[in-house]
Amino acid sequence: MKFSNIFKKSLIMGTVALTLCSCEDFLTIYPTDKTVLEDYWKTKEDVQMMTTGAYKAMLSSDIQQRAIIWGAYRSDELAKLSSLSNNDLRNITAMNLLGSNSYCNWGAFYTVINDCNLVLKHAPEVVQIDPEFTDGDLKVVRAQMLALRSLCYFYLVRAFRDVPYNQEAFENDSQNFYYGQSSPDSVLQLCIDDLVEAASISMKTGTYGTSSWKNNGFITTDAIYALLADIHLWRGSMHKDASDYQACVDYCDKVIAAKDTLYTNQMTQAAVTEKSDIYHLYKAGQDYVRNFSLGNSHENIFELEHSSTNSNGGLQYLYYMTESGAAHGALMASKIFGGDPSSSANKEDGTTVFFSKDDYRYWNYVYSPTDGDATEFDIRKMMDNSMVSTAFSSQTAATRAPSRVYDSFDQNWIIYRLTDVMLMKAEALVQLASGDDDNTRLNSAFNLVQTVCKRNMKQNSADTLKIGEFETKEKMELLVLAERERELCFEGKRWFDLVRFSYRHMNTNVSDFSKTLYQIGQDNGNQFTPVYNVMVNFIIRKYESGGNVVSYKLKTEPYLYFPIQQSQIDINSLLHQNPVYVETETNKRQTDQ
């Protein structure tokens, strides 16, 4: 990979230089005719502009689309609009992954990484020049850049497994831009080390004031703890390591406790379910508007801030409209989100996501869910600014009538929110359970799931989860997995959830996470660990036909990841293609195999 290509735009600093005066200013591009490289890193304002520039880079359509394609599209919850002609999406659906696929391009994430590296390198210099930029200011900036860089690397590891890692700021073509891939163990540990430091010097949630968007739009301690919990959960699933699962629980508890304190001390609680509990979740239905329409809610932890001048074009294209006036977005909810809910939804053989029509999410997350004959559904979540407040009958199902402004699609993208953290904790607790009789941990996991589920149910509904139906560790694991899909669908989580699920049940004796797939293949004659068949069974639920083909193609661990983009391999001899894709790539590199 030639980093000079990836980071070319980063070197023109003015294209990402921003101010911090307001949310609108945060999203305003600084004039490019005033940017000269040597004039930077003189004042506090320079550091602030480059710091917010890194956040601005996260708003790109390339990153938004990959957050969805990498994190959810390959799963059971999303399908390509049947009438859309898009070969890259079609090939991903058919598991025909090639290095020429545009969604294998990781450049946008490395642009953000380099922006972070630039700030981390130069911000300390400004402390010596500008007395207005203090050591305390530097710590806050450093925490945000360490965390944002770690978030980008975590996306890359989950999408590709083995990725180049560097902490060097690239500023001119005389530098060495060529790096090979590092193993997931190496990259994740470096991220954890950075995040532990970041947590110790970061701003606490609420510091910016009760109603400030910065509590959600900038990385705070809670966001760092949520990311640490997520990384430990991922690594714990790869290694089946109790210490990682316990770390996940501990970091989730830190977030939950901080939120409880914040609500108690600062927030009005009129809209939450129970003032006396520690979660303070919004009432059923109200969470939709507050979390997804208004944004920056009490429940949300970190979200990417879009505005009318910085439209969320990636989300718009995939979920709302492929172009102005189009009838649909490029992606649709799969058939498992519609028809009559089934009591088997919480089980391995469940054919639907929801088990009750008393669940507000059944009505709010897709349009016309009661159409039992539909094989795809328009996504309503994040696309419609109003909630279905009087659901629970077929007459009240919302039909798609696009009303949002196309040219200023200002929908924020949520990275972490409280219910996500609660369900991460539940997942880790199940894995910490010593067996089916570990009632303490299994009951705690169930209570977390029940809290998330119940807040979305019609008041006094008889269709509630009953712990007696999940008396084993295996059943409780499936329940958590099912509830995460109900709660977090279309938020870029499901594929990653399924990969973790698969890892926990795979015989990973062949896998060595301190090595790259290329190294493992060289050591083991290209023999890799088989993917857990139950994961495959979940995925094929969305197919009308072709499920057997998917079962055949999703065979071993390397298939869980995207191929490296071939154009990067062609110019960087230190990169190695994911071994299972080499033979299928028609223009694969012929040297350094």
Task: Say yes or no to pLDDT of 57 above 80.
Answer: yes
Task: Say yes or no to pLDDT of 15 above 70.
Answer: no
Task: Say yes or no to pLDDT of 4 above 90.
Answer: no
Burial of 461 (0-12, 13-18, 19+ CB in 10 A): middle
pLDDT at 33: 37
Q: What is the mean pLDDT of residues 431-456?
A: 96
Task: Mention every residue, 6+ apart, whose C-beta is less than 8 A from residue 57.
Answer: 10, 16, 63, 108, 111, 112, 115
Task: Say yes or no to pLDDT of 262 above 90.
Answer: no
Segment among 223-227, 299-303, 385-389, 497-501 with least mean pLDDT: 385-389
Q: What percent of the chain has pLDDT over 90?
A: 74
* Tokens 């009789």 -> residue: 437
Rounded to whole angstroms, the Cα distance separating 42 from 125 reads 8
pLDDT at 331: 98
Q: What is the mean pLDDT of residues 408-417?
A: 96
* Tokens 């958590």 -> residue: 480
Rounded to whole angstroms, the Cα distance separating 65 from 82 reads 19
pLDDT at 587: 38
Rounded to whole angstroms, the Cα distance separating 175 from 546 reads 48
Mean pLDDT of the chain: 88
Rounded to whole angstroms, the Cα distance separating 25 from 96 reads 43
Task: Say yes or no to pLDDT of 181 above 80.
Answer: yes
3-state secondary structure of 479: helix
pLDDT at 433: 98
The domain 1-201+506-593 is classified under which CATH number: 2.30.30.40, 2.60.40.2300, 1.20.1050.10, 1.25.40.390?
1.25.40.390
Nearest to 206 by CA among 269, 300, 116: 300
Task: Say yes or no to pLDDT of 2 above 80.
Answer: no
Task: Mention every residue, 6+ apart, whose C-beta is less than 8 A from residue 226.
Answer: 251, 252, 255, 301, 302, 416, 420, 421, 424
pLDDT at 270: 53
Number of neighbours of residue 403 by Cβ within 10 angstroms: 9
Model pLDDT for residues 114-143, shown as the tens digit of each residue = 999 999 999 999 999 999 999 999 999 999
Cα dist from 21 to 141, 218, 311, 468, whole Å: 16, 13, 20, 54
Task: Mention every residue, 6+ apart, whose C-beta is less than 8 A from residue 118.
Answer: 10, 13, 50, 169, 171
Cα dist from 72 to 150, 197, 340, 505, whole Å: 20, 30, 23, 20
Segment among 34-38, 85-89, 196-200, 336-340 with least mean pLDDT: 34-38
Cβ atoms of 318 and 71 within 8 Å: the answer is no
pLDDT at 31: 35
| pLDDT range class, residue 17, cuts 50, 70, 90 | very low
Tokens representing residue 143 in the block: 């925490």
Tell me which of 230 and 2 has the higher pLDDT: 230
Number of neighbours of residue 200 by Cβ within 10 angstroms: 11
pLDDT at 276: 61
pLDDT at 271: 55
pLDDT at 32: 37
Number of neighbours of residue 355 by Cβ within 10 angstroms: 22
Helix, strand, coil percent content, the chain, rounded in steps of 5: 50, 5, 45
Q: What separation, in Å, do the N-terminal and C-terminal C-alpha atoms of the chain show? A: 16
Q: Which amino acid is at 164?
A: P
The full set of domain ranges for the chain reads 1-201+506-593
How large is the greatest C-alpha to C-alpha distance in the chain, in angstroms?
A: 68
Model pLDDT for residues 445-502, shown as the tens digit of each residue = 999 999 999 999 988 888 889 999 999 999 999 999 999 999 999 999 999 999 999 9
Task: Say yes or no to pLDDT of 525 above 80.
Answer: yes
Number of neighbours of residue 379 by Cβ within 10 angstroms: 26
Tokens representing residue 325 in the block: 């006036």
Task: Say yes or no to pLDDT of 180 above 50.
Answer: yes
Q: What is the mean pLDDT of residues 21-47?
A: 57
Torsion angle of C-alpha atoms 310, 113, 203, 452, degrees rounded to 10: 70
Q: What is the mean pLDDT of residues 45-51?
A: 96
3-state secondary structure of 457: strand
Number of neighbours of residue 165 by Cβ within 10 angstroms: 19
Task: Say yes or no to pLDDT of 265 above 50.
Answer: yes
Tokens representing residue 306 in the block: 């879009």
Tell me which of 593 and 382 has the higher pLDDT: 382
pLDDT at 332: 98
Segment among 247-251, 353-357, 371-375, 471-475 with least mean pLDDT: 371-375
Nearest to 81 by CA among 461, 352, 378, 348: 378
Task: Say yes or no to pLDDT of 16 above 80.
Answer: no
Nearest to 446 by CA among 463, 433, 459: 433
Task: Say yes or no to pLDDT of 541 above 70.
Answer: yes
Tell me which of 485 and 408 has the higher pLDDT: 485
